[in-house]
Amino acid sequence: MPLTNRSKTVTVRELTLAERLYLPAIFKGMLITISHIFKRTPTIRYPETKREFAPVYRGQHVLKRDEDGAERCTACGLCAVACPAEAIIMESAERKKGEENLYREEKYASIYEINMLRCIFCGLCEEACPKEAIFLTDRIVPSSFTRGEEVFGKNILVEPIDQRVDVSKRQTPEVLEFKHDKKHSHNRTFKDPKPTISRGH
Amino acid sequence: MSLSPELIYSILLCVIIFTISLAVAAYATWGERKFAAILQDRVGPSRAGPFGLLQPLADGVKMFMKEEMIPSKSNKWLFILGPSLFMLTACMVSVVIPWGGNLTIGETTFPLQITDINIGILYMFGVVSMGIYGIMIGGWASNNKYSLLGALRASSQMISYEIAMGLAIIALVMLTGSLSLKEIVAQQDAGLAFVVYQPLGFLIFIICSFAETNRAPFDLAECESELVGGYHTEYSSMKLGLFLFAEYINMFISSAVMATLYFGGYNFPFQHELADAIGLSANGLTILQTVIFFGKVIGFILLFMWVRWTLPRFRYDQLMNLGWKVLLPLAIANIFITGLVMYFLGKLD
């Protein structure tokens, strides 16, 4: 019994003269190819025009500053723990007197490096961060000639004071709420209770 | 030997036609890529200059900058001779092709044809069949199995298809009674283009042209999926460039031959009426005819490309079957039919 009515009965029969000549088939094929002259190319010529990204696109990371321009990161290491690709390393240091305008809390990251070749842009670092310090942005990680150049340090990652990176698309109130309720987290350990509320909104 | 104006003109014409062949072949590579891109909904070369028009230049520079490799176990002289011979024979056919009528400057007439030998077609066939040696020598001298297989395929394919091609031409020669290309073109001025009288002959000729130039769907000689690069596997730098470039010159020349033999050469319909109507001088008409001729040639080149980007490659036995079992009998039948029709129309002398 046929499951669908799409099946076709195949028979082996002698080819007709027109089929054996091949020429009608060739002309048919050539008409198909030539019809593509009138079709639009879907190519996006990258540096001149850019593809429009989805609002939740995860690209190059940024280390945010707070409203006064002090770095938010406290080098707690949660992002490095959360990172499945082990792309993040950091070293912490203690804030000295007089550096209050530079670092938000008493501890800060003196070295913070993300290896962009290891990073899989999953966004778990962003989710793990309790200080709203690290975000993924809609910027494409630039290519480089050496592997070393792809290890981004604080000089690249921390946003410049005068050129703040807009992360409002990713940091919506819903996302904040989601992050603060650890029951929703992807990053929970087995000891945590299973999420009772359905994920998302 | 003194330098007569005729000699200087001949040399000048040789240089001009050689340059035009190279330029057309260079831009055929650009055109091929652009055409393929359009048929495949891509953009194609677009970075080097406007619309990528400087791409052939960039390709040439790239070829020259590549490392020159001669395999240590190869025969060095034959290895170099291969591409040179292929390129040479590719350029040699253009000598007999009439690119236009006569230019009259003062008292002297300058024909836009390097030489009108009375066995033009025979010369053409002789030179074309020499082209095999370039591939054969190159492939054999490489001392590489793929190269040898590619060269063998190319040479047997070209020999097979030359027969059908020659027989297709014989039917045409029966109509014209002349082997001179200029005479053939002149007869098409008086009557209709020969494609009207010889549609089957033209079909056989064009199929054989695809095979002779090693173009898809008959490009088994450089069948990447089986033979790496075919006869030019071991070649690098500009020697590879010469092989690839000569293919495009061959394509240009065989387009010119097809336009000459079957599509009226530099003639176009109602040319004399048009010249009378807009008061064109004889020289003006000649130049217009040359432009039209190049239009026809470019049309055929586009057809070559169109076919290449439509049809898949033949299998080798299919290729041989088509050549020997289909085209050859068809060509003989064509001669027979042509002879019968000529007999019943009383065209036989």
Interface contact A30, partner B, CB < 8 A: yes
Over residues B12-40, the pLDDT tens digits come to 888 988 898 888 888 888 999 998 898 88
Closest by Cβ to B41, choosing from A26, A32, A41? A41
Cα–Cα distance measured from residue B291 to residue B289, given in angstroms and rounded to the nearest whole number: 5
Helix (H, G, I), strand (E, B) or coil at A82: helix
Asked if B41's CB is within 8 angstroms of A33's CB, the reply is: no
What is residue A194's predicted lDDT score, i.e. its pLDDT? 54
Cβ-Cβ contacts under 8 Å, B217 against chain A: none
Interface pTM (ipTM) of the complex?
Answer: 0.74
Range of the domain at A172: 61-187
Specify if A69 maps to a domain: yes
Sign of CA dihedral B40, B43, B48, B53: positive
Q: Does residue A197 register a pLDDT over 70?
A: no
Which regions in chain B score pLDDT beneath 70? Answer: 1-2, 347-349
pLDDT grade for A150, boundaries at 50, 70 and 90: very high
Chain B residues with beta carbon closer than 8 angstroms to that of A43 = 42-43
pLDDT at A175: 79
- Render pLDDT for B45-66 as a digit per residue (tens, 0 to 9): 888 888 888 888 888 899 888 8
Taking the Cβ of residue B42 and every Cβ of chain A, the question of whether any pair is shorter than 8 Å is answered with yes
pLDDT for res A188: 54
Instruction: Report pLDDT for A182.
Output: 64
A143: domain CATH number is 3.30.70.3270
The Cα B255–Cα B300 span in angstroms is: 5
Domain contains A68: yes
- The total number of structural domains in chain A stands at 1
Q: Give which of B43, B46, B305, B310 to mutate to test A binding, by max A Cβ within 10 Å.
A: B310
A55, part of any domain: no
Is B40 an interface residue toward A (CB < 8 Å)?
yes
Q: How many CB atoms lie within 10 A of CB A95?
A: 17
- Please answer yes or no on whether A43 and B310 come within 8 Å at the CB atom: no
Query: Which pLDDT value is given to residue B332?
Result: 92
The residue of chain B with its CA nearest to that of A41 is: B41
Q: Test B38 with A36 for CB contact under 8 angstroms.
A: yes
C-beta atoms of A30 and B46 within 8 A: no
Nearest to A41 among B43, B306, B311 (CB): B43
Nearest chain A Cα distance for residue B307, angstroms: 7
Specify if A13 maps to a domain: no
pLDDT of residue A189: 52
Q: In this model, does residue A118 exceed pLDDT 90?
A: yes
- CB contacts under 8 A, A 139-158 vs B, are none
Average pLDDT, chain A: 83
Instruction: Decide: residue A35, CB within 10 A, 0-12 exposed, 13-18 middle, 19+ buried.
Output: exposed
Assess A35–B contact: CB distance below 8 Å, yes or no: no
Within-domain flag for A40: no
Which residues of A are less than 8 Å from B37 in CB distance? Answer: 41
Query: Which H or E element spans position A90?
Result: strand A88-94
A29, A40, A42 ranked by CB distance to B310: nearest: A29
CA distance B219 to chain A (A): 17
Residue A147 lies in a domain: yes
Structural domain contains residue A31: no
Q: For residue A123, tell me if it sits in a domain.
A: yes
Please choose, from the candidates B79, B171, A32, B193, the residue with its C-alpha nearest in 3D space to the C-alpha of residue B184.
B193
Q: Looking at beta carbons, which residues of chain B come within 8 Å of A29?
A: 310-311
Q: Identify the three-state secondary structure at position A180.
A: helix
Of A30, A32, A36, the CB nearest to B41: A36
Q: What gap in Å lies between CA A90 and CA A100, rounded to an integer?
A: 20
Task: Give the model's confidence band at A201: pLDDT under 50 very low, under 70 low, under 90 confident, else very high.
Answer: very low
Task: Please give the Cα distance from A80 to A133 (Å, whole number).
Answer: 13
Tell me the average pLDDT across A73-87.
90
